[in-house]
Amino acid sequence: QKEVEQNSGPLSVPEGAIASLNCTYSDRGSQSFFWYRQYSGKSPELIMSIYSNGDKEDGRFTAQLNKASQYVSLLIRDSQPSDSATYLCAVNIGAGGTSYGKLTFGQGTILTVHP
């Protein structure tokens, strides 16, 4: 089982729709969770961080965390063509100092928003 696994893509949604990206992780002790956006040929850009169960909203983005189910998701409302990118889920695997400073990344989900 992969430590961090994202829903297989690519994902295609029409402009204005909600895009839903999902990620599961294997270690129950994980403390912090991140979503990065990566445009083709560019480096990843941090768009959301979440540390507690529940929802966290930032503009059109909502991150959802459920530690009991070991599941984190990213919702993009009113999707725009400029949201077309690869989205990477990253998890700070392990608790506290045992894997301090290490993020484990999923393989990424390609999102295409078509006009």
Partner 1 sequence: DGGITQSPKYLFRKEGQNVTLSCEQNLNHDAMYWYRQDPGQGLRLIYYSQIVNDFQKGDIAEGYSVSREKKESFPLTVTSAQKNPTAFYLCASSIPSGRVSYNEQFFGPGTRLTVL
Point out which span in 13-21, 59-67, 75-83, 101-109 binds partner 1 (CB under 8 A). Answer: 101-109
Q: For residue 83, report the phi and psi dihedrals to the nearest 5 degrees.
A: -80, -10
Q: Which is nearer to partner 1, 108 or 112 (CB)?
A: 108
The reply on whether position 32 binds partner 1 by CB under 8 A is yes
Smallest gap from Cβ 27 to partner 1, in A, equals: 14
SS (HEC) of 3-66: CEEECCCCEEEECCCCEEEEEEECCCCCCCEEEEEECCCCCCEEEEEECCCEEEEECCEEEEEE
Binding footprint of partner 1 on the chain (CB under 8 A): 4, 31-32, 34, 42-46, 49, 51, 88, 90, 92, 96-97, 100-108
